[in-house]
Amino acid sequence: MAEETKTESKPLTTGFLSSTQLMEIDACTNCGECMKWCPTYGVYNDKPEITPPLKIKAFRDLMGGQHGLRAKIFGPKKLNEEEIDKFTYDFYMCSTCGVCGSVCPVGINTVELWESIRANLVRRGNGPYEKQKFFPQLLYKDRNPYGGKAEERLSFVPPDAEVLESANIAYFPGCTAAYRQQTLGVATVRILNALDIPFCMLGEDEWCCASVLVRTGQREIMQEHANHNVDAFKDRGVETVLYACAGCIRTASIDWPRWYEGYIPYKNVPLSVYLRDKIQNGEVEWKHSLNKKLTFHDPCHSGRHILHHIGNDWTFEAPRDVYHAFPGAEYVEMERSRELQRCCGAGGGVKAGVPDLALGMGSARVKDGEDAGAEMMSSTCPFCRRNIMDGRNAMGSKMGFADQVEIMAVLMGLDVAIPPNPYLEYQEWDDVLGDRICIKPGDLEPVKPDDIEGD
Ligand code: SF4
Ligand code: SF4
């Protein structure tokens, strides 16, 4: 009872909201356009309260009772804890994908607004949602969300690969490629080596980009992670950092500069952009042909989230140019693509906090691919890869899935086998050239160059 009274007395504040965001809360006209596009509402279509106009209205009502004219005269309305709990639930049924902001006719920057309101919910003790609350302690303890050991961060790197201690170019694999989706890391290292690009990685010194903290409103150790990673690159004299993870490049490009205490001298480049240049310069030698209908899932974080930061060409065209260069690939576009793509369901803390919703969204994206006639879907993000494969498995589809770098490495005839390491049990992949899916270590061996007949 004493605990209840203490919680009830806490106000819900607007402390993390800018003056522009306060105006945005009043600017929503309830037109409903965003509701047609919202991927979480697409799955939970009996819950309109999770959509932008109703979330904004609910927050406006809560704030009105606390800070409006009536509250100034008669005192703030007592917060109803059940109402706040319901509001918190509705607020976290969102992958912060941002398509609502892309279609909003009054230009509300919804992703920023959702994240700021979540930060206020966390401050009051209502957010985050379910397992999302473990992220800060996991990151504080191991500096990654998977409980991986720092000294094993590069355990995916094949022993014969060449990775330097310092170089002008760095590759930031991110936690998911390092510990859970290691084929991406192997493929990237193999491609960079095959193209004779000297590069370094931070290894033990690499900390999580901390995207998941900002997306779920838990900002307290974000600055430590931004400072640590940026300083580590500076110490190595890095001029260009390559990212093959959408969440990492969004966070490094937009969030780290907000928290980092100083000048950031290097530039952040999506790996697709770098690889497109190499392909267009004639530096890539292809050994195999894909011979499949292939479609691309634009990740939200390296798409809509950074579109206005790095531009249309780097965001949407570079990855497509790489796919178009793959020998034997028949590229098909999904109806929802580029700025209007449908989120895979992994982001915004949804994968950890609301796994059923994440699965439903992943399956919906696979259905989009099937409707486009694709035999294989691909993306440029390990987290999209995991959730779309999970969605595919849940719905029993046979659609193949592989990251862009996995396909590229195989078509270049490179050995993408993951070396023995403590995280092997978590790995899973699909055939790039064949049609086997869900291959696990010890189950079926991955296809190696020697096994492949020349095309
Ligand atoms: S960010 Fe995406 S999931 Fe969240 S409310 Fe907007 S459209 Fe829906
Ligand atoms: S599109 Fe914009 S103005 Fe219309 S309901 Fe959604 S958030 Fe409100």
Question: What's the angle, vertex CA 214, arms to CA 122 and CA 20, rounded to 5?
Answer: 85
In this structure, are residues 112 and 308 in contact, taking their beta carbons and an 8 Å threshold?
A: no
Q: Which two tokens stand for residue 197?
A: 């690009």
Mean pLDDT of all residues in 402-416:
98
The domain segmentation of the chain, as residue ranges, is 2-127, 138-451
> For 366, what's the count of Cα atoms within 13 Å in the CB-facing half-sphere?
24
By three-state DSSP, how is residue 199 classified? coil
Please name which ligand lies nearest the alpha carbon of 114: 1
Whole-prediction pTM: 0.93
Q: Specify the residue with its C-alpha closest to ligand 1, atom 3.
A: 94
Mean pLDDT of all residues in 372-391:
97
In this structure, are residues 24 and 108 in contact, taking their beta carbons and an 8 Å threshold?
A: yes
Please name which ligand lies nearest the alpha carbon of 111: 1
21, 24, 28, best to mutate for ligand 2 pocket (most atoms within 8 Å of CB): 28
Dihedral angle of Cα 102, 108, 111, 116, to the nearest 10 degrees: 180
* pLDDT tens, position by position, 206-256: 999 999 999 999 998 899 999 999 999 999 999 999 999 999 999 999 999
Report residues whose beta carbon is within 6 angstroms of any ligand 1 atom. 34, 37-40, 52, 94-100, 110, 343
Q: Which two tokens stand for residue 352?
A: 């950890």
In this structure, are residues 118 and 217 in contact, taking their beta carbons and an 8 Å threshold?
A: yes
By three-state DSSP, how is residue 81 classified? helix
CB of residue 173 inside a 6 A radius of ligand 2: no
Residue 27 CA to ligand 2 centre (angstroms): 8
Question: What's the angle, vertex CA 331, arms to CA 329 and CA 335, rounded to 5?
Answer: 160
**Euclidean distance between CA atoms 331 and 325, whole angstroms:** 10
Q: Specify the residue with its C-alpha closest to ligand 2, atom 1.
A: 104
* pLDDT tens, position by position, 48-103: 999 999 999 999 988 887 777 777 777 777 788 899 999 999 999 999 999 999 99
> For 44, what's the count of Cα atoms within 13 Å in the CB-facing half-sphere?
20
Please name which ligand lies nearest the alpha carbon of 349: 1
Please name which ligand lies nearest the alpha carbon of 31: 2
CB of residue 30 inside a 6 A radius of ligand 2: yes
Per-residue pLDDT band for 11 (boundaries 50, 70, 90) equals confident
pLDDT of residue 444: 54
Query: 81-92 and 110-124 are packed helices; what angle lies between their axes, rounded to 10 degrees?
Result: 140
CB of residue 53 inside a 6 A radius of ligand 2: yes
Q: Is the peptide bond before 145 cis (omega within 30 degrees of 0)?
A: no
Higher pLDDT pick, 441 / 249: 249
pLDDT of residue 267: 97
**Euclidean distance between CA atoms 101 and 112, whole angstroms:** 10
> Is the pLDDT reported for residue 161 higher than 80?
yes
**Euclidean distance between CA atoms 15 and 18, whole angstroms:** 8
Contacts of 57 (CB under 8 A, 6+ apart): 28, 30
Residue 394 to residues 359, 360, 389, 391, Cα–Cα distance (Å): 7, 9, 9, 5
Q: Which CATH architecture has domain 2-127?
A: Orthogonal Bundle (1.10)
Q: Which two tokens stand for residue 283?
A: 């530096």
CB of residue 20 inside a 6 A radius of ligand 2: no
> Is the pLDDT reported for residue 448 higher than 60?
no
Residue 189 CA to ligand 2 centre (angstroms): 43
